[in-house]
Chains A and B, each alone.
Chain A
Amino acid sequence: MEQRFNNFAALLIMIGILSSCGSGGNQGSGALVSDAASQVYVPPGQHDEYYAFFSGGFSGQLTVHGLPSGRLLKTVPVFSVDAEKSYGFNEETKPLLNTSYGFIPWDDAHHPELSQTNGTPDGRWIFINGNNTPRVARIDLSLFETVEIIELPNSGGNHSSPFTTQNTEYVVAGTRFSIPVPQKDVAINSYKDNFRGALSFISVAPEGEMEIAFQILMPGYDYDLAHSGKGKSHGWMFFSSYNTEEEHTLLEVNASQKDKDFIAAINWKKAEEYIQQGNFEEMPSSYVVNRYDESTQMASSEKRTSVKILIPEKCPGLVYYLPTPKSPHGVDVDPTGEYIIGNGKLSSDMTVHSFTKMQAAIQNEAFETVIDGIPVLKYEEVMDGVLKQAGLGPLHTEFDNKGNAYTSFFISSEVVKWDPKTRTLLDRAPSYYSIGHLMIPGGDSMNPWGKYLVSLNKITKDRYLPTGPELAQSAQLYDISGDKMKLLLDFPTMGEPHYAQGIAASVIKDRQVKFFKLSENNHPYAAKSAGETRVERQGNTVHVYMTAIRSHFTPDNIEGIKVGDKVYLHITNLEQDWDVPHGFSVMGALNAELLIMPGQTETLTWEPQREGIVPFYCTDFCSALHQEMQGYIRVSAKNSDVALKWSLDE
């Protein structure tokens, strides 16, 4: 009997294998190899091999997933407020979202970029750009929290950002929309006369603080993406551009007329020399730098009033243009630093420039022409070769650790594997659907981990259970360890998953801050023990110094608050253990909850509107007595004489 059962099972397995082969392996909508499930299965309690950081696109946030499972681990709020974490709601984080325009609760976040040391992701920070109101944010990967946001003056749409140099000397920003610099009230059709594109180099200090080191004022094109040179090409930064037609209307047609646009090659070491020589203009500008101080646990926003500008015409050797077909999107440098690849998104070809040839062309002054002081190198002199007809709509290329390149093709919805040296096509795999960027952990660095590739898709159509007019956003995971790419997994992400970065988990996971030491909490309104709790009134302003510990608030009865008061509730979480946050919320507060990490102090501002009794409670299930973790505030009339009083267990 048992034997017969075994034979039957073997037969079933055989049919399974045959039918999966029959569906064509990588082809078709099934597209799964039979062992895919085991390759992405991470057993309960075990950890993923890689962290992957996905930009949340128009959500403005960053999500952290594990690979190969695709499991969502955390959403890190960056450019958009997050009521869950009180980000942008509590007094401590509000300054992070300040700009020269005031507080902005949203942005469009496109490209996460890990900090690097010696051309390898080092897991200290991840940077991400705010596209709409140009900014760059820095997230500390021992906290997984946004700790700095810098605004970019003279920019309109920060798209080609924040790509790093190989030791994170700089992260860069390039304006997608050229605008008048400095801003002025001009006719839009005076574009060619008045509009300029600023490329920004943001210096990153050893502790991470960002400042705008300098900006380069370029012709009024649209600057799209960037990547730094590495190894032999260290010291150079490459920006792709489109709309070299310099059109200001119906760009889909008018900016698609030229056969070739440009990749701008910036010699930033040269830029440093010019800055040192004082060969720059100090331009009055208005922008802010917002930083979170771990010691006081508060962010502050500082104004800046000027920026150093380099003009290519006055700085010979600073910028060269590499002609590249056709409205190139990604500009990607291979791990050796030799090949600079233009992904001409309106063509079917991949252009491979050679850094060595570029150096020679500069040496020999092989210029086609000069635009605003910028020499345009001869295409034939810098181009090493072309991968012909590889697909339609190439957008972005990353690399594995075996010398292969992988390019996303948006229009033909596929990933193409090819050899950048010989320009031979090696493999292709469909994506479901309309891949934008792709990501290999470390795939834009000198040392890629060449095991997995993630495709970041623009649309999902029928791939998931439908959810009304707006469907699931999604990424896909491929195994690239063998000769042929294998689709392993679809997994939903926050929308839209624009670009991502990946890094071996071992680089980051042991560096986590588990809790904040109370002894190092220098928040000006902290109460570091129940004995320090109190309520203080200064006119209509009331400061409540409250503590939280399993499972009570001190004080939990407060009287003497009046309608019209402005009440600052400063809650210190006295816990000193990992994974014991307390939440805090007040009925009727026109605000979010607080979510306070152990050892941290956060402040909720509340303006009581009505007389009566107002409950407050802990919102994060903290203990067996979480449901008892609550209190009352008595709100009296504006002119009442109820005395200020606070207590616990009286």
Chain B
Amino acid sequence: MKKYIIIFFIAVLLPLSLFVFPMWSITLEAPQYPGGITMYIWISKITGESEATLQNINILNHYVGMKYIEPDQIPELQYFPYVVVGIVALGLIFGFIGNRKLFLAWTIIMVVIGILGIYDFYLWEYDYGHNLSPTAPIKIEGMAYQPPLIGSKMLLNFKADSWPATGGILLGFSIVLGLLSFYLSNPSKNWNLKSNQKEKHSVQFS
């Protein structure tokens, strides 16, 4: 099997890592929380460094009137796993067909889904940060509590750090590898031309 095919299959399988690693992490830091409180967003759940992290974040959030984060109430966490399984299945089919245009198509689908996912995350953060209870004990004029999409931001006494976690980083690699496989499979590249074509046939007829 040729190198670019292997690379494409790696790209296709990488999204499965989302079932093993979290996609994103948000850490809240304040002096009385040495080490910070970190929340992990997974493809199907939200967790923290301990079982109690979510409860502790919810307790903090309730002072300023933010909604409780209840993973059971977030529909994305229900259907995202199917999206991941679907795109991996599609990638496997494309990989066995072996058409390089399909490699590109798959990668573009990944990028689109990624952008949609991040946009969805943004909306979710916006909702939690802006949609505050009118009876909140602490109300500060003009203040919203939306964590940054990526990067750091001060939210009252907390510094909120939002960064991709292992799963999110591997998803990025998946896209890079998808593009790389498309690039390497270019027949106008004179290196490996013959073997590339041969490989394509062998894949098609196998």
Residues of A near any B CB (own CB < 8 A): 515, 517, 549-550, 575-577, 623-625, 628
Contact = CB atoms under 8 A, between A and B. Distances in A.
A231 B83 CA distance: 67
Given A549-B59, A550-B59, A576-B56, A624 B138 contact: yes
B85 to A, nearest CB: 31
Nearest to A579: B32
A617 B59 CA distance: 19
A624 B59 CA distance: 11
21 contacts: A515-B52, A517-B51, A549-B59, A550-B59, A575-B55, A575-B59, A576-B50, A576-B51, A576-B52, A576-B55, A576-B56, A577-B52, A577-B55, A577-B56, A623-B63, A624-B63, A624-B137, A624-B138, A625-B63, A625-B137, A628-B137
Contacts of A575: 55, 59
Contacts of B138: 624
Interface string B44-83: 0000001110011001000100000000000000000000
Query: By CB atoms of chain A within 10 A, which of B51, B52, B55, B138 has the most?
Result: B52
A467 B82 CA distance: 74
A575 B55 CA distance: 8
Contacts of B63: 623-625
Interface in B24-59: 50-52, 55-56, 59
A550 B59 CA distance: 7
Q: Closest 5 interchain pairs by CB?
A: A576-B52, A577-B56, A550-B59, A576-B55, A625-B137
Given A624-B63, A625-B63, 7 more contacts: A515-B52, A517-B51, A550-B59, A575-B55, A576-B50, A576-B52, A628-B137
A624 B32 CA distance: 13
Nearest to B137: A625
A442 to B, nearest CB: 30
Q: Is the interface of A mostly helix, strand, loop or mixed?
A: loop
A343 B55 CA distance: 58
Q: Is the interface of B mostly helix, strand, loop or mixed?
A: loop
Contacts of A515: 52
Contacts, number: 21
Nearest to B63: A624
Interface residues of B, number: 9
A577 B59 CA distance: 11
A419 to B, nearest CB: 46
A608 to B, nearest CB: 31
Contacts of A625: 63, 137
Interface in B118-175: 137-138
A220 to B, nearest CB: 58
Nearest to A549: B59
A517 B50 CA distance: 11
A45 B56 CA distance: 24
A623 B50 CA distance: 21
A382 B9 CA distance: 83
Contacts of B52: 515, 576-577
B27 to A, nearest CB: 16
A576 B57 CA distance: 11
Nearest to B60: A550
A515 B51 CA distance: 12
Nearest to A624: B63
B80 to A, nearest CB: 27
Nearest to B56: A577
Nearest to B135: A649
A248 to B, nearest CB: 60
A577 B51 CA distance: 10
Contacts of A550: 59
Contacts of A624: 63, 137-138
B90 to A, nearest CB: 41
B29 to A, nearest CB: 15
Contacts of A549: 59
Query: By CB atoms of chain A within 10 A, which of B50, B59, B63, B138 has the most?
Result: B59
Contacts of B137: 624-625, 628
A650 to B, nearest CB: 14
B13 to A, nearest CB: 36
A625 B56 CA distance: 15
A515 B55 CA distance: 14
B134 to A, nearest CB: 15
Contacts of B59: 549-550, 575
Nearest to B54: A576
A499 B24 CA distance: 53
A12 to B, nearest CB: 37
Contacts of B56: 576-577
Contacts of B51: 517, 576
A625 B64 CA distance: 12
A188 B46 CA distance: 74
A52 to B, nearest CB: 24
Nearest to A576: B52
A624 B139 CA distance: 13
Nearest to B59: A550
Nearest to B55: A576
A623 B63 CA distance: 10
A550 B137 CA distance: 12
A576 to B, nearest CB: 3
A184 B51 CA distance: 59
B37 to A, nearest CB: 9
B196 to A, nearest CB: 57
A527 to B, nearest CB: 16
A389 B101 CA distance: 100
Contacts of A623: 63
Nearest to A649: B135
Nearest to B51: A576
B130 to A, nearest CB: 22
A622 B59 CA distance: 12
Nearest to A628: B137
B145 to A, nearest CB: 15
A157 B59 CA distance: 51
B185 to A, nearest CB: 52
A529 B110 CA distance: 42
Query: By CB atoms of chain B within 10 A, which of A515, A577, A623, A628 has the most?
Result: A577
Nearest to B37: A577
B73 to A, nearest CB: 17
A289 to B, nearest CB: 34
Nearest to A599: B52
A597 to B, nearest CB: 13
Nearest to A598: B52
A525 B122 CA distance: 44
B187 to A, nearest CB: 60
Nearest to A577: B56
Contacts of A517: 51
A549 B52 CA distance: 13
Query: By CB atoms of chain B within 10 A, which of A517, A576, A624 has the most?
Result: A576
A550 B63 CA distance: 9
A299 B188 CA distance: 81
Interface string B83-105: 00000000000000000000000
B81 to A, nearest CB: 26
Contacts of B50: 576
Nearest to B34: A45
Nearest to A517: B51
Contacts of A576: 50-52, 55-56
A625 B136 CA distance: 12
B95 to A, nearest CB: 44
A624 B50 CA distance: 24
A6 to B, nearest CB: 37
A624 B138 CA distance: 10
A575 B57 CA distance: 11
